[in-house]
Each structure stands twice: as structure tokens, then as C-alpha cells.
Amino acid sequence: MTFNDIFKSSFLESVTEFSVIDTLVGMVFALVIGLFIFVIYKKTFSGIMYSNGFAMTLVGLSLVTTLVIMAVTSNVVLSLGMVGALSIVRFRTAIKEPMEIVFLFWALAVGIVIGAGMIPLAVIGSVIIGVILVLFANRKIRNTPYILIIDCADEKAEESAMNIVERSVDKFLVKSKTVNSSGVELTAEIRVKDGATSFVNRVNETEGVSSATLVTFNGEYMS
């Protein structure tokens, strides 16, 4: 096989022509909107540990998806091959926060929409999504949820501690109670207005109470 044979290959002849300008415009918009998603993610993040790597992944995901969709829309055969190739890909990275799924799908949707040539839809939709997420993220929560864990020596100490808690919180719900030879361990979900947690000190000072622990609660335990 010679170089002439290579250049005359049916593979090269089947390559569909594409517009360099359209490609650059699409990639630029994907980059700009990807950076916008990056900023919104950073501004609305409320988890335990911020991951800069995940945030940068959102930008890269927008660019890569745009490039893939541009290639798929220009060639039907390539689109079928891409579906088969992507079907064998497996992702093992665990999602730490439920909101990360929203940002991943947002980045993917932006890439798909821009790759399909609907840039105004990607811009307008991203602005609307970003504004909604920022508004909900900055919404003040008046009754902050907590988990309260109290270790009591006996039933009398438990009643005294519960009286203090019930007078100091807006909502009180016992989640679990463990009784053994060393005493009573009580776990309760409480709602505290404006983050007033000084009552825990009074609970801990109650006679017969060995410890009182308060942790924030958002559906999972976190310190």
C-alpha cells in the first residue's frame, strides 16, 4: 500500500465537510456557558467539602458534549457508532451531593443543545436555571434542623433534660432511645429558630446528664 492508496481511501472520502467558523462559535459558547455553570456551582455549593476538580469537570463536560453532538449531527453512520461506543462506558465516581446530578445534567444538556445549533436556547435556558438555583440557595432557613444526642444517667435526668429542650426549640421529635446498664441515650430531631443553640449548655449542666451533642442535619449526618 502506498501513500496514494491511503489518500484515496474510502474512509477519507467519507469524511463529511464541516464549518470551522460554526465549530469555533459553538465551542466558544460552550466554554462561556460552562464557566457560568462553574460559577453557579461554586456560589450555591452547600456540601461538606468543595471539589474544584468536579467544578472544572462541568466546563469540560460542556465542551466535550458539544464536540460530540456536532460530529453526530453531521453524519448518521457516525451517530450510530457513537451510541454503541458510549453504551460500554461505565462511570465509577460516586455522587456526594444530590445537587451534583443537577449540574452534571445541566452541563450535558448545554453541550447537546449547542451541538445541535440551538445556541439561543442554551443561553436563555442556562440563565433561567442559574437564577433559580441562586435564589433557592440564598433562601434563608428560619428553623434550622439539628440532631440532638443526650446521655442521661437515669429517667429523672432524662425528664429534666427534655423539659429544657421542649421549652427552647420550635419542634421536637424523638428518633431513637437506647436504655442499658450505663444509662439512657436519647436521639431527637429538633428545629431551632435563628440558630439559637445555647440551650444545649443548660441541658449539659442538668444533674445526671453526662453529655449533650448537637449536629446539623440535612438528610444525612454531618459535623
For residues 180 and 208, state if they share a domain: yes
Let me know if residue 38 belongs to a domain.
yes
- Sign of torsion over alpha carbons 141, 95, 105, 51: positive
pLDDT at 164 over 90: no
Q: What is the pLDDT of residue 23?
A: 86
**How deeply is 121 buried, as exposed, middle or buried, from its count of CB atoms within 10 A (0-12, 13-18, 19+)?**
middle
Q: What is the pLDDT of residue 191?
A: 83
Q: Which range marks the domain in which residue 48 is found?
A: 3-137
Calpha distance 218→223 (Å, rounded): 11
pLDDT at 208 over 60: yes
Q: What is the pLDDT of residue 126?
A: 94
For residues 199 and 92, state if they share a domain: no
Calpha distance 97→108 (Å, rounded): 18
pLDDT at 140 over 80: no
Residue 158's domain is classified under what CATH number?
3.30.70.260
Query: How many domains is the chain partitioned into structurally?
Result: 2
Q: What is the pLDDT of residue 143?
A: 65
Domain stops at, among 102, 119, 137:
137
Confidence of residue 220 (pLDDT cuts 50, 70, 90): very low
Q: What is the pLDDT of residue 132?
A: 92
| Residues counted in the chain | 223
Report the chain's mean pLDDT, rounded to a whole number.
79
What is the DSSP track for 94-159? Answer: PP-SHHHHHHHHHHHHHHHHHHTT-HHHHHHHHHHHHHHHHHHHT---SEEEEEEEEEESSHHHHH
| pLDDT one-digit tens code per residue, 28-56 | 999 999 999 999 998 888 766 777 888 88
pLDDT at 97 over 80: no
